[in-house]
Structure 1
Amino acid sequence: MKTENVGFDVDVPSTSVEPVVQSIAPPTENPINAALSKGISPKTLRIPAIDVEAPVQHLGTNNLGEMAVPDEIDEVSWFEPGYNPGQNGRAVIAGHVDGLEGPAIFWDLAELQPGDVIEVAGENDDLTFEIYKLESIPLALADVSEVFGYTSSPELVLITCSGTYNREWGTREERLVVYAKLIN
């Protein structure tokens, strides 16, 4: 039998060959990642070490393209366009440190220590994250990709204002960022 290939005649043998089918085991997955690959939609945030418990709002960006934050000082919000808690990547939850009325939900966030836990409850699943790093970053030097970026395992980031209040900017000059990894 002859067949045409890019203007050249090529001889193709007329014998047929049966394909060999092999059974290949699927790759082994981390059980946490397999069970929670899509993460959860957060309903409640708990931080036992500083006695915080709050419902979680689902917000995106404001009209300036910045992360939207809760209107009230006793509320927290998850950056919904980002990663879900339990999904590979950094899920971000924000809260205020203070307001005109005084201390806010994340007033004591700076007291947390590596090893403290953060619990996020969803509709059917609860996740526990362990804090591994805290840092206060000057607002002008904040690296958005570091805070909101992809990681190969599920992480949670809490963020609030810190440092001196700058009247010209209308905000504090730093951001306190708490990084935690999924442990359960």
Structure 2
Amino acid sequence: MLLLSGCQETADEVSVRSKDVGFASERKYTASDTAVKTAIENPINALKREGIEPEKISIPAIGVEAKTLHLGTKENGEMDVPDTIEDVSWFEPGYKPGENGRAVIAGHVDGIDGPAIFWDLAELEAGDEIIVEGEDGQLVFRVYAMESVELELADVQSVFGYRSSPELVLITCSGDYDHNRGTREERLIVYTELVEE
């Protein structure tokens, strides 16, 4: 089971939830299952796009430019996050930016020495752009929603889940610092959609 890591190195397990999206059944299908074969033939799959492996992210509205690391999960199942406060990380086992589905990029809000790369993420507004660059090109996403979620109310599947169009989700810590957990009490989640060319 995937868990979202905290923003501090000693963080406990955490996951996140989106209030405004629904997801298909959690039923597991085998390759021979009729439902899977039907889905493959579904016309909506003709709209599937190829994504890019992100190398850099820029957010002009808040002056962010950061190298994008490719990380997965830790041994305990938590989503891995950068060791430094200047970098962000793309969840590599998930969707690529530009693919149908939600690609996830995480970054720290602060560190021991002060503000981190996503310190001003909460200042974003609907319509602000996020630019993702990789060897295969550049993509522009536009913010359409944002929420801060308490750790206990989190649902990882809604953040990392499939969508019929490309989306990018940015995640960082928010709320008060919980010394017992070694992390902040909430996660700020920014939802963005691909700007069609």
Using a 3 Å threshold, how does the CA distance of structure 1 residues 122 and 166 change in structure 2: closer, same or farther? same
For 2:149, give the aligned amino acid.
Answer: I
Greater Rg over alpha carbons, structure = 1
Number of aligned positions between the proteins: 154
For 1:107, give the aligned amino acid.
Answer: W
Aligned-pair CA distance for 1:29 = 8.2
Aligned-pair CA distance for 1:146 = 1.1
TM-score, structure 2 normalization:
0.75
Please list, as runs of the form range in 1=range in 2, the aligned pairs for 1:1-184 lying within 5 A after superposition: 33=47, 37-184=49-196
Q: Work out the CA distance in 2 between the residues paired with 1:47 and 1:156.
A: 13
| Higher RCO (CA 8 Å, separation ≥ 6 residues) | 2
Percent of aligned pairs with the same residue?
64
Query: Which 4+ stretches in 1 moved above 2 angstroms?
Result: 27-30
Q: 1:43 aligns to what SS in structure 2?
A: strand
Q: Work out the CA distance in 2 between the residues paired with 1:123 and 1:39.
A: 11
Q: Work out the CA distance in 1 between the residues paired with 2:75 and 2:181.
A: 17
Stretches of structure 1 lacking an aligned partner (at least 5 in a row): 1-26
Q: Work out the CA distance in 1 between the residues paired with 2:121 and 2:44.
A: 37
Question: RMSD across aligned C-alpha pairs, in angstroms?
Answer: 1.5
Stretches of structure 2 lacking an aligned partner (at least 5 in a row): 1-42
Q: 2:159 aligns to what SS in structure 1?
A: helix
